[in-house]
Amino acid sequence: MQSNSQETLSTHPEMEPREEQKKSKSPFQLALRRFMKNKLAVISVFVLLTITTTCALAPLFTDLDPERTNLLLIEQGPSDEHILGTNGQGQDNFARLLYGGRISLIVGFSAMFFTLAIGVILGSISGYYGGKIDGVIMRAADIMLMLPFLVLALTIIAIIEELTIPLFITIIALTSWPNLTRIIRGTYLSLREQEFVLGARAIGASDIRIIFRHFIPNAIGPIIVNATLMMATYIIIEAGLSFIGFGIPQPTPSWGNMISEAMNVRILREHPEAWVPPGLAIFITVLSINFIGDGLRDAFDPKSKER
Amino acid sequence: MTQNPLLDVEGLKTYFYLEDNQVAKAVDGVDFYINPGETLAIVGESGSGKSITSLSIMQLINKPGKIIDGTITLEEENLLKKTGKQMSKIRGNDIAMIFQEPMTALNPVYTIGNQIMETIRKHKNVSKKEAQERAIELLRVVGFPRAEEIINEYPHQLSGGMRQRAMIAMAISCEPKLLIADEPSTALDVTIQAQILDLLAEMKERLDMAILLITHDLGVVAEYADRVLVMYGGQIVEETAVEQIFENTKHPYTTGLLDSLPSLEKDMKRLGAIKGTVPPAHSFPKGCRFSSRCPHVMERCLESNPDLNEVESNHKVRCYLYN
């Protein structure tokens, strides 16, 4: 076989086939291709993109200020000016839905990246070095996992007097890092035994270089999948905490806040336009993110069944 | 010896500290030297300490293992006195290593070229373009006809033999003085084995490097090595030139290894075998480490471990049968 290909190629060695020939597919490109075959996941990407751009471009869709109260127009039904009516403070529900989406998505995204940063740093140290430092980090993770998340978050929020959005994100990230840290550590433990890591050390690569060049790219599959699924959880957490009044402080709108405003039998019965849209928005967003997460998991894991 | 050896290992001891305060003496007092441009083979069964010896030279021993004694001298410099940083300059540059398992020894997420260039750029101050040209040249040298394409391919697109070639290209990229080949052909099928070993021999000639060949295949030794060390239980039991090991076998363990080779000349119904297995490194017998399996075991063998003695010129044996 070796000599065969040598002959066939030596006949036209001058040709530069690089551009024309099929490009070699990297493992990421292969995963992307598998992802694109998953219809549900691709549709979910479009849905999520639509929701995100609509919220990001909120001023194009409404001229109203979501925080401006108008006590003369309380609990109005849908009208030309207020498509989804107004709430108990006379704020426009449609504007609050769009601007609230910004807050909910920003909280979800930022909390995810924050957790990702903590998880990658701690998980890398723990999984790569092992030994005592691993013990310390993992016991800290155990302690965090032992405390009920909701109680912990509520306590911290209750202690803090003035809750801002960055602070809220920080609290979520600092209370939910152990899961991702454990996953990354676990992936590293199996990577550590691979011979290419020994090979990298044999050519003189440093620890940092091995972590960044050899570990993270090989662990990127589980990292991305879990980060995606985590983002869905964070949007729910934000909505849940806002619903019980421990989340994003009023008058800043968020989807959770909007549902919280409808916590009243009369509004529930008479003004479904006030609470159905934010509820639906949370539902669709979280569902899309979960479908994307599932799609990514199947794409990154060649062993999972093709559907 | 008239010339100075390239690598001189003296009294190397690498122990693994296990749970329950047990100590596994994986390498226990090993002395050997490699001359420039020479191929030294280390043979022995699984568990005899061959691989740990090579990893000790590279100082890639992981916890709970530790090099507790000895000197490893490369061109008059003791490697065991180097700091981690100095050592990482030597690895890949002066001493390179290729591994047994070509399937896992390359990182699956990078192209072949990328990985070869990493080594070059780590040790040589060259631009990306120069490194790439060098990578293509190296791939040609190791026998890839389509080198310009191979540098853009990923390990999963190559067969085992091709990956091992790529590994060799990577190992020789900085023209090391010593190449440690840890069972380079074991995971490959027989026809490819010969190609890879021939390639190693060719590279050795071309770059004038020394090779430390770790293997359990005596056929490979006969073909490619200049001198042989036979290891058993973390110690050298016989050391001699390659012709001597086949024609003038001394140690009963070496005899056992040779008897377990199939032969075309003799009409054998069954292959010979050495009874038993290598004792675990934390519980060697009290006397000679081979005594539990030796067909010629004597009373003194059970009491004390013989020294490695030079019984003929350039032929050392660790056995009471010869002194």
Q: Give the pLDDT confidence of A162-211 residue by residue, as tens digits.
A: 788 888 888 888 888 898 899 999 988 888 888 888 888 888 888 888 88
Q: What is the pLDDT of residues A79-108, one digit of tens each?
A: 777 777 777 777 778 888 888 888 889 989
Contact predicate B233/B52, CB 8 Å? no
Over range B92-114, report the average pLDDT. 86
Nearest to B152 among A24, A130, A199 (CB): A24
Q: Tell me what pLDDT residue A18 has.
A: 43
Residue of B nearest to A31 (CA): B109
CATH numbers and ranges of domains, chain B: 7-94+176-322 (3.40.50.300), 103-175 (no CATH)
* Distance from the A215 Cα atom to the nearest Cα atom in chain B, whole angstroms: 10
Q: What is the pLDDT of residues A232-288, one digit of tens each?
A: 889 888 888 888 888 788 788 888 888 888 777 887 787 787 788 888 989 999 999
Residues 6+ apart with CB under 8 A from A25: A33, B154
Rounded-to-integer distance, Cα B164 and Cα B181, Å: 11
Q: What is the pLDDT of residues A275-291, one digit of tens each?
A: 888 889 899 999 999 99
* Inter-chain residue contact A203 with B58, CB threshold 8 Å: no
Question: Is residue B242 over pLDDT 60?
Answer: yes
Interface of A with B in 1-40 (CB under 8 A): 2, 5-6, 9-10, 16-18, 21, 23-28
Question: Is residue A22 over pLDDT 60?
Answer: no
* Distance from the B291 Cα atom to the nearest Cα atom in chain A, whole angstroms: 34
Annotate A140-176 with b (16+ C-beta within 10 A) or e (fewer): ebeebeeeeeeebbeebbeeeeebebeebbebbbbbb
Q: Which domain holds residue A279?
A: 26-60+95-300
Nearest to A199 among B87, B99, B111 (CB): B99
Contact predicate B214/B181, CB 8 Å? yes
Residue A89 lies in a domain: no
For the question of an ipTM over 0.85, the answer is no
State both tokens at B306. Answer: 């013989």
Residue A307 lies in a domain: no
Q: Tell me what pLDDT residue B194 has.
A: 86
Question: Is residue A7 over pLDDT 60?
Answer: no
B169 three-state secondary structure:
helix
Nearest to A9 among B118, B146, B154 (CB): B146
Q: Which amino acid is at B236?
A: I
Q: Which amino acid is at B19?
A: E
Q: Tell me what pLDDT residue A122 has.
A: 92
Output the average pLDDT for chain A: 81
Over range B10-17, report the average pLDDT. 89
Interface of B with A in 32-71 (CB under 8 A): 58, 60, 63
* Distance from the B167 Cα atom to the nearest Cα atom in chain A, whole angstroms: 9
Instruction: Tell me the pLDDT band of A293, cut-offs 50, 70 and 90.
Output: confident
Global pTM reads 0.75
Over range B169-188, report the average pLDDT. 87
Residue B287, H or E segment: none
Residue of B nearest to A199 (CA): B105
Over range B214-224, report the average pLDDT. 86
- A203 touching B (Cβ < 8 Å): yes
Nearest to A195 among B87, B89, B101 (CB): B101
Output the average pLDDT for chain B: 85
Q: What is the pLDDT of residues B270-312, one digit of tens each?
A: 777 787 777 887 888 888 888 888 888 888 888 888 888 888 8
Residue A272 lies in a domain: yes
Residue A7 lies in a domain: no
Count of the separate structural domains present in chain A: 1
Nearest to B109 among A5, A27, A130 (CB): A27
Q: Which amino acid is at B276?
A: G
Q: Tell me what pLDDT residue A306 has.
A: 47
Residue A255 lies in a domain: yes
**CATH classification at residue A116:** 1.10.3720.10
Over range B200-228, report the average pLDDT. 88
Rounded-to-integer distance, Cα B280 and Cα A185, Å: 31
* Inter-chain residue contact B97 with A6, CB threshold 8 Å: no
Rounded-to-integer distance, Cα A73 and Cα A279, Å: 23
Contact predicate B178/B34, CB 8 Å? yes
> Which residues in B lie closer than 8 A to residue A131 (C-beta atoms)?
63
Residue A3 lies in a domain: no
Residue in this structure with the two tokens 């899961």, named with its chain if needed: A179
Q: Tell me what pLDDT residue A45 has.
A: 92
